[in-house]
Structure 1
Amino acid sequence: MTGVRIARWQAEDLELLRRLNVPEVRDHTGGPETDEQVVARHERYVRGHGPRSGQMFTVVLPDGRKVGSVGYGERVWHDVPVYELGWAILPDHQGRGLATAATLAALADARARGRGRHRWAHAYPSVGNAASNAVCRKAGFTLLGPTDFEYPPGRLMRSNDWRLDLADPA
């Protein structure tokens, strides 16, 4: 979708995070969180990950409406530091290419801000989440295969491991 942009997560974005905390959005990631968990997540998003370690964004339509989130953060995967990407789009805005556009913008930010900090970006959508697996494919990730992935903490889920080379200017 032309004109979709991402904007750094702000204190006033708590209500958006609450609107994203619904079964239609969270079904493949352990289900909706408690409000206490949502508020804690929001506080982490506002603080940010650090100057080069990652960032959370809102997904903004051309008319200024915020309809989702996208971001990346550092993690160690198979003993290698990587960026992990994640996204969520409000149910009434899904299926329009917004998650793919936002993911591409977040990858561009990771390349620019990371300045070669990590070579690889990964995404770990549930094997049953066809829409998020399609986002990975459309954004240029390579499917490495299924894996057991801990998300949320304490819960293993069967995910696909998608990898993208950040050294490739895409």
Structure 2
Amino acid sequence: MAEVRIVRWGVDDLALLRALNVPEVRAHTGGPETDEQVRARHERYLRGPGPRSGNMFTVVTPDGTTVGSVGFWPREWHGEPVYEMGWAVLPAHQGRGLATAAVRAVVAAARAAGDRRFAHAYPSVDNPPSNAVCRKAGFTLLGETEFEYPPGRLMRSNDWRIDLTAG
């Protein structure tokens, strides 16, 4: 099993966010953002944790290589307060179980927060790797849903849920 640690998002992580802003990583989330959007996202991440900034982390391998990002943030889903989770791994490091290990770590962080029963992830139905991460990390598939991301754009997603009070 892959090993990673998650580290709170920091000032020096703008370069990582720019490196993740490529078609191979952003294909299922509306495509690459402008540099202005990336800088604004970085500033939100730095302000976290919070309602608009979430709890964002870098994903670091045991040898100290930063390979991606992972996080959770509060939202309301079907009238219930939940966490939404998201992640991204640099193309050179995909396919090795690092995203699954990172999602397991961020589930533990959300569980420790203790203020929501469920966390959800909404990968595109056309994104087999992210759907596999959800399955391997212990989420339950609730079915397909229309999900707005990026803002103003509806996408067909799977609704995956994990119970943060279990385990």
Name the TM-score, length of structure 1 as normaliser: 0.95
2:153 is aligned to: 155
- Give distance in 1, aligned partners of 2:21 and 2:156: 21
1:134 is aligned to: 132
- Give distance in 1, aligned partners of 2:165 and 2:141: 17
Q: In structure 2, what residue type is equivalent to 1:157?
A: M
- Give distance in 2, aligned partners of 1:156 and 1:130: 19
Identity %: 73
- For residues 142-161 of structure 1, give each alpha carbon's deviation from its aligned partner in whole angstroms, at most 9, with x where no partner exists: 00000000000000000000
> Offset at 1:50?
3.1
Q: Does 1:19 align with 2:34?
A: no
Q: Does 1:167 align with 2:165?
A: yes
> Offset at 1:65?
1.2
- Give distance in 2, aligned partners of 1:42 and 1:120: 26
Where do residues 2-151 of structure 1 align in structure 2 (5 Å cutoff)? 2-50=2-50, 54-112=54-112, 114-115=113-114, 117-151=115-149
> Offset at 1:2?
4.2
Asked if the contact 1:144–1:161 (Cα under 8 Å) also holds between the matched residues in 2, the reply is: yes
RMSD after superposition: 1.3
> Offset at 1:54?
4.1
- Give distance in 2, aligned partners of 1:166 and 1:109: 10
Q: In structure 1, what residue type is equivalent to 2:82?
A: V
- Give distance in 1, aligned partners of 2:21 and 2:54: 22
SS of the residue 2:27 aligns to? helix
Q: In structure 2, what residue type is equivalent to 1:56?
A: M
Name the TM-score, length of structure 2 as normaliser: 0.96
Asked if the contact 1:54–1:110 (Cα under 8 Å) also holds between the matched residues in 2, the reply is: no
- For residues 17-48 of structure 1, give each alpha carbon's deviation from its aligned partner in whole angstroms, at most 9, with x where no partner exists: 00000000000000000000000000011111
Unmatched tracts of structure 1, length 5 or more: none
Unmatched tracts of structure 2, length 5 or more: none
- Give distance in 1, aligned partners of 2:59 and 2:103: 10
> Offset at 1:49?
2.6
